[in-house]
Amino acid sequence: MQGAGHRVAITGYGVLAPCGLGKNAFWNGLLGPGITNAKTVEIPDWDPQPYFSNPKEARRADRVEQFALAAAHEALTQSGELPYDPTRIGTIFGTGIGGLRTLEDQVVTRVEKGERRVSPFLVPMMMSNACGAAISMRHHFRGPAETICTACAAATHALGYAARLIAWGRCDAVVSGGAESAATITAVAGFANMTALSTSGSSRPFDAGRDGFVFGEGAAVFVLERHDLAVSRGATILAEILGAASNADAHHITAPSPGGVGAIACMRLALEDAGLQPSDIKQVNAHGTSTPLNDQAESQAVAAVFGNPTPPVTSIKGVTGHPLGAAGALEAAAVLLSFEHRLIPPTANTTTLGEDITCDVVMGSPRAWTPGPTISNNFGFGGHNGSIIIAPVT
């Protein structure tokens, strides 16, 4: 991060999504067919038990916390033991909603069976900070443990803040990312009634026929370290976070600012933070939710910042659905995998770009590329914008 001090390395990551559990399966899923005929996509046959010491412990964790712990396990296994003072290892996490499944279940329990039957574990299971807290407690990380809750920008904001804590010298390592599992009956009804969900059951980012998103879930967790310390301990450095930015549209609770004005400013702030020019960016991993207004505004913003032709643009939500606060984490994982495989995954289900889309959207099949600095965008309800720039090892 430009002028901030220490370089920030990524030394491990883990990912769970409906299209695949673990990095390898997730990559195969990104190349697979897109979602069709669905309001929601969820991880099938999820078994949390391998990540808990006993069934009781697993039952006392909401599904979103289970996801977070599982992704953290894969990330920390890859990075290896962190040989730092535990008070200098942070846990910065993002979620949009937290333990909504537990809350909804317990509301039903209260209505049907009375107040005395409400679980005493309701509060620790539903609270939004449970995921990050669980990771810090399990691994005895005693540095800053904070949760960012900025709707669909949460995980990107978490990663950006985590990187700053390292760049500023406050932490030697930070475990960061995001998780979400909120596709309850009531939540789905709410999104459907506000016309945010696809009526065709297909997520088609930037497509002429896009009509809303499909509700997803998942988690991705990353181990960030001070670059020099990671090199000293012999860790494998997978990528580097060069810069990040956050700002607000201050326009509307759900709609983006017209013309993507806030997104334009956010991407430019991230470029400034990274010390890069627009021409240095070689891929844009878009928020690309498949809603008419979001995709139009983001396309306009990308063209305004990068000119025409734009760098290759992709959205993974045609495969993953929209996992709300976990979106930025899953997309950062997709960026790392695109570095490794030297391919940009296609925007699933997208066949004909809308007339209002001016980006170079990767469609149909993965595109070969020479990996370079990549910007990943996420924009949340409330006008929250987040951009992060990740670069391959050079």
Residue 3's pLDDT band (boundaries 50, 70, 90)? low
Q: Determine the pLDDT at residue 381.
A: 94
Which secondary structure element, helix H or strand E, spans residue 274, and what is its range? Answer: helix 261-274
The tokens of 251 are what? Answer: 């326009």
Nearest one of 306, 308, 343, 331 to 390, comparing CA atoms: 331
Spell out the domain ranges in the chain.
8-392
Q: Given this model, what pLDDT does residue 2 score?
A: 62
Among 394, 15, 369, 367, which Cα is nearest to 242's?
394
Give 236's DSSP letter: P
CATH T-level fold of 8-392: Peroxisomal Thiolase; Chain A, domain 1 (3.40.47)
Mean pLDDT throughout 265-286? 98
Residues 289, 357: Cα–Cα separation, whole Å:
13
Query: Taking 80 as the threshold, does the pLDDT of residue 1 lie above it?
Result: no
What are the tens digits of pLDDT across the range 201-246?
Answer: 999 999 999 999 999 999 999 999 999 999 999 999 999 999 999 9
Position 287 pLDDT exceeds 70: yes
Percentage with pLDDT > 90 across the chain: 98
Nearest CA to 339 among 369, 306, 375, 376? 369
**Three-class SS of residue 353?**
strand
Contact of 289 with 378, CB cutoff 8 Å: no
152 is catalytic: yes
- Active site annotation includes 6: no
* H and E: helices and strands count for the chain: 13, 14
Q: In the chain, which ranges are E strands?
A: 8-17, 20-21, 89-94, 145-148, 173-180, 218-226, 239-248, 283-285, 312-314, 343-344, 360-361, 367-368, 374-380, 384-392
Q: Are 99 and 125 in contact (CB under 8 A)?
A: yes
Is the pLDDT at 21 greater than 70? The verdict is yes
Q: Look up 322 and say whether it is catalytic.
A: yes
State the catalytic residue, choosing from 6, 139, 287, 384: 287
Pairing of strands 360-361, 312-314: parallel
Choose the catalytic residue: 157, 227, 322, 384: 322
- Residue 374: which of 346, 323, 333 has the closest Cα? 333
Q: What is the pLDDT of residues 174-191, one digit of tens each?
A: 999 999 999 999 999 999
- Active-site entry in 152, 171, 266, 359: 152
Mean pLDDT of 5-29: 97
What does the pLDDT look like over 32-57, one tens digit per residue? 899 999 999 999 999 999 999 999 99
pLDDT for res 394? 83
Tens of pLDDT, residues 83-98: 999 999 999 999 999 9
- pLDDT(24) > 70: yes
pLDDT of 339 higher than 70? yes
Q: Can you name the residues that pair with 93 across neighbouring β-strands?
A: 147, 177
